[in-house]
Amino acid sequence: LRRDVPALKRLDKKTIEVIGNEREKVLIARRWSGGDEAFAIFNFNDAQMSVAPPVHDGRWRKRLDSAQERWQGGGSSLPRELDAEEREPMRVNPKALVLFTRQK
């Protein structure tokens, strides 16, 4: 993914934002490069957590969801795409990582 996603390719501390919630055991990382943007949500909790995605505008495509069966997870209910206008909280499975990129 780092080769395919420009926002993940460039390692620059000026183009990353990290928000952690220690009580809920959730970490959100957002990276950008030019017009490309990606965000990852890490749920370290033993329970499913409701998380507001850090989307600003546009449509977003799910690139990785560790809860999917293909990664030996229990299955995921997260959508393949998000629309920034619909800013619904996401239910991220326990001990899971999800990565979305903004579509152009």
Per-residue model confidence as pLDDT tens digits over 55-71: 878 999 999 999 988 88
Tokens of residue 62, six digits = 């799910």
Q: What is the pLDDT of residue 88?
A: 84
pLDDT in tens, 70-82: 887 888 889 999 9
Residue 67 carries which side chain, given as an amino acid letter? A
**What are the tokens at 9?**
């390719």
Q: Tell me, what amino acid is at 95?
A: K
CB 24 within 8 A of CB 91: no
Q: How confident is the model at residue 94 (pLDDT cuts 50, 70, 90)?
A: very high
- Domain membership flag for residue 87: yes
Does residue 1 sit within a domain? no
Looking at the domain assignment, is residue 81 inside a domain?
A: yes
- Compute CA 57 distance to the chain's CA centroid, rounded to the nearest angstrom: 15
- CATH number for the domain including 58? 2.60.40.1180
The alpha-helical segments, DSSP class H, found in the chain are 6-9
Residue 69 pLDDT: 82
Please give the residue range of the domain that contains residue 68. 6-102
Task: Say what the pTM is.
Answer: 0.89
Check residue 34 and give left, alpha or beta (phi > 0: left; psi -120 to 50: alpha).
Answer: left
> What total of structural domains would you count in the chain?
1
Give domain status of residue 27, yes or no: yes
